């Protein structure tokens, strides 16, 4: 479990607190979305979870280990952080070497490295690029290589910073399926995003951040359909939630955010109507 | 606190933040004369008291600009080099006081550059450079346009903080992949920087290409008689600084000429 206890953090440039008194809990195997406007402190929070940043006050415990007393390399084994922009981490000559880099750093044996690399490349549909330079790949592919580079050592917690940025709709859909699949295999997945539509369809637990504070927390359909909470984090409700807002005068519930449940409700109503006719 | 974080923190001591204090509002040309004066005077004299005096002169400026804390970062960054200067001079037998004087001289130069860059916006600096005839002439000869050189300079200065942010992100990303920068022998440590430098270089190149395209799309460099929205104007405080600086400069030159005792040993 990752415990964030009353954490405040201020960058040395001294423009106020980036996080103030944040307390959250991330359970093993959980699927969470940390949402909020630009500058809300989402990435700052993410960097606290593997010890890249240490709290100015409060503490972060990763499986009861205080991040202030542990190295990032040690925490990274458990907490894998995938950065937003793949260009900030790709440097190897081949995709294979890129994916193997962290495994070497973390001290895995040669045979294990080979197996893990092949397995990860396969799971992300990158096998055919194994010997290609990552710089020759498209933006979406590079993003997948960056994900593979972290996934390779199978961290217990996987944090994805803005995974949907720069992805087209189809890629988002695939990413969502992949995340759900990972999560069902028992990995905790924490996504940092302001993509409400993506979150609405995936339905994780949502933590809303605004100006360095937690302003809302709960299941996606409850949080994302709550006009006040969504506005407090400078987000906009997902389209389905907007639709059901307007349909509420026909007796529909307001807390509908995903296509699947919307379809169910509308189908039921249409059946009722056709029975009456 | 991790080491890489401290290294980049020292950049804070040279980074501009837009604020409205009397020091920030000074004309960049007046400030340039001030640091030139400090530069020349500190090189003319090896006297410890003169150099300490020069250091103390900066205190009211640092206080008025509200950058005292960030100045400490730049001093902390220079601490190692200052130590080396002190001991190198001490060991070569120049005595404690001269060794101390040379160390203070280094700190004076560090402080004056730190103060200048912390309180002068790259835009103002570009405007000031653009007024210098020599810069315009050179720029026309080398690059074909009179304002291209000053723009290049402004852009370079402006990109430093951006590059520092990129560097921090790259370091964070690679540390998240288990890279430990200060692990292993000296060769290993140098090799540890490869995963930092390659992405950083590529990001910088990509950024400059994008910048070039964006500039061309907006018609840069434009015509010879390009005007600017903001014009630099000397205020009373600027005249005061120019008067003070030039007086000190003149007096120092005069003392330097007639009092060889205070002269440098070379």
Report ipTM for this prediction: 0.90
**B173:A12 CB<8 A:** no
> Longest C-alpha distance within chain A, in Å?
70
- Closest partner residue to A90 (CB to CB) among B5, B69, B199 is B199
The secondary element (H helix, E strand) that includes residue B180 is: none
Cβ count near A270 (within 10 Å)? 10
Helix, coil or strand: residue A51: coil
Strand order in the sheet with A57-62: A17-26, A2-10, A57-62, A65-66
Q: Chain A: which residues have CB within 8 Å of chain B?
A: 12-14, 47, 50, 52, 54, 71-73, 76-77, 80-81, 83, 85, 87-91, 101-102, 105-106, 135, 149-150, 153
Reduce the DSSP state of residue A31 to 3 states and report it: strand
Strand partners, A217: A207
Residue B206 tokens, joined: 């990509």
Q: How far apart are CA B47 and CA B55, in angstroms?
A: 13
Q: Tell me the chain A residues in contact with residue B202 when contact means C-beta distances shorter than 8 Å.
A: 87, 135
Nearest to A21 by CA among A37, A10, A29, A31: A10
Angle between the N-to-C axes of helices B148-176 and B194-217, in degrees from 0 to 180, rounded to the nearest 10? 140
Contact A13 B17 (CB under 8 A): yes
> Any bridge partners for residue A19, and if so which?
A9
3-class SS at A256? coil
Chain A hits for B173, CB-CB cut-off 8 Å, are: 83, 88-89
Q: Are A84 and A191 in contact (CB under 8 A)?
A: no
B interface residues, A as partner, C-beta within 8 Å: 1-2, 5, 9, 12, 15, 17, 69, 73, 166, 169-170, 172-180, 194-195, 198-199, 202-203, 206
| Token pair 């346009």: residue | B145
Per-residue pLDDT of chain B (266 residues; tens, 9 = 90+): 344 444 566 667 777 877 888 999 999 999 999 999 999 999 888 888 889 999 999 999 999 998 888 898 888 888 889 999 999 988 887 788 889 999 999 999 999 999 998 998 888 888 888 888 888 888 888 888 888 888 888 888 778 878 888 999 999 999 999 999 888 888 888 888 999 999 999 999 999 999 999 998 998 877 777 777 877 888 999 999 999 999 999 998 888 888 765 554 43
Average pLDDT, rounded, for chain A = 93
B144: left (phi over 0), alpha (psi -120 to 50) or beta: left
Nearest CA in chain A to B177: A102
Of the candidates A54, A91, A135, the beta carbon closest to that of B194 is on A91
Instruction: Estimate the crossing angle of helix A139-151 against helix A110-123, to 10 degrees.
Output: 140
User: Averaged over A112-121, what is the pLDDT?
Assistant: 96
Q: What is the pLDDT of residue B15?
A: 78
Distance CA A87, CA A93 (A): 14
Relative to beta strand A157-161, strand A188-193 is parallel
- pLDDT at residue B1, rounded to an integer: 39
pLDDT value of position B185: 84
In chain B, which residues have their Cβ closer than 8 Å to the Cβ of A76?
Answer: 175-178
pLDDT recorded at residue A7: 96
Interface contacts (A, B; CB < 8 Å): 71
- Rounded Cα–Cα distance for residues B145 and B137 (Å): 9
Give the closest-approach CA distance of A273 to chain B in angstroms.
Answer: 56
């Amino acid at each position: 479990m990752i415990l964030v206890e009353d954490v405040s953090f201020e960058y040395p440039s001294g423009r106020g607190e980036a996080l103030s008194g944040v307390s959250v809990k991330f359970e093993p195997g959980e699927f969470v979305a940390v949402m909020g406007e630009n500058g809300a402190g989402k990435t700052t929070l993410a960097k606290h979870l593997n010890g890249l940043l240490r709290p100015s006050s409060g503490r972060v415990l990763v499986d009861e280990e205080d991040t202030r007393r542990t190295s990032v390399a040690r925490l990274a084994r458990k907490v894998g952080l995938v950065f937003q922009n793949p260009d900030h981490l790709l440097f190897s000559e081949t995709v294979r070497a890129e994916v193997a880099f962290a495994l070497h750093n973390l001290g895995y044996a040669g045979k294990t490295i080979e197996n893990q690399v092949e397995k990860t490349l396969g799971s992300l549909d990158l096998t055919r690029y194994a010997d290609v330079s990552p710089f020759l790949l498209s933006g979406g592919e590079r993003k997948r290589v960056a994900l593979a580079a972290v996934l390779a050592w199978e961290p217990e917690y996987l944090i994805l910073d803005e995974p949907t940025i720069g992805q087209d709709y189809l890629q988002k859909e695939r990413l969502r399926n992949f995340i759900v699949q990972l999560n069902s295999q028992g990995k905790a997945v924490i996504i940092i995003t302001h993509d409400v539509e993506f979150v609405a369809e995936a339905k994780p637990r949502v933590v809303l951040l605004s100006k360095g504070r937690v302003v809302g927390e709960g299941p996606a359909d409850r949080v994302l359909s709550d006009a006040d909470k969504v506005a407090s984090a400078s987000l906009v409700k997902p389209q389905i939630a907007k639709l059901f807002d307007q349909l509420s005068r026909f007796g529909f519930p307001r807390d509908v955010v995903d296509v699947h449940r919307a379809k169910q409700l509308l189908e039921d109503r249409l059946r009722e109507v056709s029975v009456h006719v | 606190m991790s080491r890489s974080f401290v290294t980049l923190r020292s950049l804070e001591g040279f980074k501009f933040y837009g604020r409205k204090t009397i020091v920030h509002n000074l004309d960049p040309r007046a400030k340039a004369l001030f640091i030139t004066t400090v530069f020349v005077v500190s090189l003319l004299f090896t006297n410890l008291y003169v150099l300490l005096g020069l250091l103390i002169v900066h205190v009211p400026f640092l206080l008025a600009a509200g950058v005292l804390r960030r100045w400490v970062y730049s001093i902390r960054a220079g601490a190692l080099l200052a130590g080396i200067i002190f001991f190198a001079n001490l060991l070569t037998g120049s005595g404690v006081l001269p060794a101390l004087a040379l160390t203070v001289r280094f700190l004076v130069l560090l402080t004056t550059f730190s103060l200048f860059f912390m309180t002068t916006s790259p835009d103002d600096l570009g405007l000031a450079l653009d007024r210098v005839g020599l810069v315009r002439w050179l720029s026309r000869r080398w690059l074909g346009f009179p304002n291209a050189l000053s723009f290049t300079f402004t852009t370079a200065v402006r990109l430093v903080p951006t590059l520092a942010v990129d560097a921090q992100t790259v370091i964070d990303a690679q540390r998240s992949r288990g890279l430990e920068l200060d692990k292993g022998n000296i060769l290993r440590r140098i090799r540890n920087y490869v995963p930092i430098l390659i992405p950083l270089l590529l990001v910088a190149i990509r950024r400059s290409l994008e910048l070039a395209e964006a500039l061309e799309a907006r018609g840069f460099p434009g015509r010879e008689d390009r005007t600017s929205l903001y014009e630099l104007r000397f205020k009373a405080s600027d005249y005061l600084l120019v008067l003070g600086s030039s007086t000190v400069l003149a007096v120092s030159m005069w003392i330097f000429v007639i009092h060889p005792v205070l002269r440098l040993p070379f």
